[in-house]
Chain A
Amino acid sequence: DMKVTQMPRYLIKRMGENVLLECGQDMSHETMYWYRQDPGLGLQLIYISYDVDSNSEGDIPKGYRVSRKKREHFSLILDSAKTNQTSVYFCASSFRDRVGQNTLYFGAGTRLSVL
């Protein structure tokens, strides 16, 4: 089974604190993603990583940074978290299928509350 693991599942932080969300996959997928999900807004892409140290901004990168030092791990960092970063964060990874397209597989999500 393809598995994307996120840690922690739930996190409460105070405004101004640093936040580290971690994601792992055991499938050697090259591409990994961080999304946030908010009610009424669907999924918004924060960052995409094409491989180790090969990261690219998504649609809403402001206030976030990422780190990918190993293919199987992709971290999302919030330096000095803000209350409007309260959200559910999803990590995903993808592989290229037989027709050359990537299918995304999602982790279980991290519910972050910034007070």
Chain B
Amino acid sequence: GEQVEQRPPHLSVREGDSAFITCTYTDPNSYYFFWYKQEPGASLQLLMKVFSSTEINEGQGFTVLLNKKDKRLSLNLTAAHPGDSAAYFCAVRPHDSGYNKLTFGKGTVLLVSP
């Protein structure tokens, strides 16, 4: 089945720096991708969902890149601020999972210091 590897597991940056998180997946037919943000003690909030035909997706303060050739999904938080401190999870919809199942990465804990 689909394997999703997320790196790095922990990331510390200073306020104003960029924070870059990457997920690699194994199923070349995966076609729907998600990023979730989880603040300490809270639930997972959907950050962005990306369909496989879209390579660059802009959000508020972040960019999601999809490289299908390398099977890589990336989240780049530009000019990070302390409010971005949280755990981030990628999720991938494998081709053979039907419409319902996602495979999650193990998460990245981001700390943004002032």
Contacts and interface: CB of A to CB of B under 8 A. Distances in A.
Interface string A87-107: 000100010100111111111
The A interface, classified by DSSP as helix, strand, loop or mixed, is strand
The B interface, classified by DSSP as helix, strand, loop or mixed, is strand
B93 A101 contact: yes
A109 interface: yes
A101 B32 contact: yes
Interface stretch (A12-20, A39-47, A73-81): A39-47
B100 A42 contact: no
A90 B43 contact: yes
B101 A42 contact: no
Interface residues of B, number: 23
Interface string B70-114: 000000000000000000010101000001111011110000000
A101 B99 contact: yes
B56 interface: no
Interface size class of chain A, counting residues whose CB lies under 8 Å from the partner chain: 20 to 34
Which one of B91, B100, B104 has the greatest number of beta carbons of chain A within 10 Å? B100
B106 A102 contact: no
A108 interface: yes
A51 to B, nearest CB: 11
A103 B49 contact: yes
A103 B99 CA distance: 9
B34 interface: yes
B43 A106 contact: yes
A22 to B, nearest CB: 16
A102 B45 CA distance: 15
Interface of A: 31, 40-43, 45, 48, 50, 58, 90, 94, 96, 99-109
Interface of B: 6, 9, 32, 34, 36, 42-46, 49, 51, 89, 91, 93, 99-102, 104-107
